[in-house]
Structure 1
């Protein structure tokens, strides 16, 4: 049963990486690294961390834009600004920030067997790439792009990375995504199925990109969002929750 969420707080990791952290109010199942969409660490992402904390997870979100000097891309610039900022990132630096979040969870007493990752938009890309690079208990990608063409130096397209997944992976995609084609969704599903761990890719016929973003009425699809979130929580509990 979920509890009332606790507010997310901003801290600085020992290596200097800014992190947003949200501790669970009650019993802790494990830890989840939460990776931002292209807009950065927004109020929406804070709400995601708080929702995970309400479900018993220690949530930590690295601020991937900290080298650019901000946490959240310009709201005035809209999606065009976010896309430009996203492409300014570097794969090696992204990996370092994810590892900083993993280190924070480890020093907070979260075992590797109970450490998961979840990401949205470009964060979904990072979640899969991280799960192919390191052993994680579970990884969840909400509409992660760069399926067949890479975003960043140092991170290959997802169809190339997916066969090397080192643990369980869940993909959640919209079939009306203007950035990810149905053919790419099918190819990613097939590629992930060849990995050693259990994988599943769910696609929603009436949803497009960012369908979980409840702060964006134009793209938010409540039915798909609710089903995807429920599946994500179930997946995390099944693969990453500490056994009592």
Structure 2
């Protein structure tokens, strides 16, 4: 049975990065980095790590808040506390942690063209920026937010990064989302299209940002994500 576990990797800045990882019982098809939502490594993130491993992928999710000693912000933490936590991220720390996750996959025999990245919410936006700054096989953004805003002082906004995307990219959004608005999603669609890599934007009607609350749409989004990685990580 596929188990989800946590490993610790020392970094050059003296901190220790925690990684939530899972490996398939079946032959490994490739590797996927999962970037967590704004509340950190939640049960939904752990479910995603486990579910992707069950599909044959070697999976790793870096804990981007580890320098603050945080793994998950729970229901007792206010939206303002979550925003404050996100604002403490820097471009250097995000890329260092993501690179360490890709390195974890590489050490286990996964080549760059068989590596993908996926994220929801904050992680979805970061996934797009990472796909513009690193050479990968495929990327998926699920309900990425703050599309037009820089993610930190030294990371571009997803919209700014989009024309530089280096790999096939899939974006999944809910029509009733406020952040991002559909106007911003359409600008993102056009910006990624200018990169000349394969891309697709799916807008689910009559659902908001967290469209996973609709079982039918959630199942469709999951299947599209699997199909995207199946098609491009070879």
- Which range, TM-score by smaller chain? over 0.9
2:187 matched residue in structure 1? 187
Q: Confirm or deny that 1:237 pairs with 2:233.
A: no
1:9 to 2:2 alignment: no
Q: Contact conserved, 1:13 with 1:104, CA < 8 A, in 2?
A: no
Q: Is 1:178 matched up with 2:214? A: no
Structure 2: which 5+ runs fail to align?
Answer: none
Is the 2:24–2:55 Cα contact (8 Å) retained in structure 1? yes
Q: 1:224 to 1:81 in 2, by over 3 A?
A: farther
Aligned length: 230
1:49 Cα deviation from its structure 2 partner = 0.4
Residue in 2 that maps onto 1:108: 108
CA distance in 1, matches of 2:76, 2:160: 35
Provide the aligned C-alpha RMSD in A.
1.3
Change in Cα spacing, 1:80 to 1:226, as seen in structure 2 (3 Å) is farther
TM-score (norm 2): 0.94
User: Match of 1:13, SS?
Assistant: strand
Deviations 1:61-105 (A, max 9, x none): 000010111111132124443233122211211011000000000
Q: Which runs of structure 2 are paired with 1:81-160 in the superposition (5 Å)?
A: 81-160=81-160
Report the Cα distance in structure 1 between the residues aligned to 2:57 and 2:29, rounded to whole angstroms. Answer: 6
Cα distance in structure 1, aligned partners of 2:22 and 2:80: 30
Q: What residue is the counterpart of 1:72 in the other structure? A: 72
**Aligned partners of 1:79, 1:57: CA distance in 2, in Å?**
33
Counterpart for residue 218 of structure 2: 225
Aligned partner of residue 211 in structure 2, secondary structure: coil
Between 1:199-208 and 1:231-240, the stretch displaced more is 199-208
Q: Indicate if the aligned counterparts of 2:126 and 2:158 stay in contact, CA closer than 8 A.
A: no
Name stretches of at least 5 consecutive residues in structure 1 with no aligned partner.
213-219
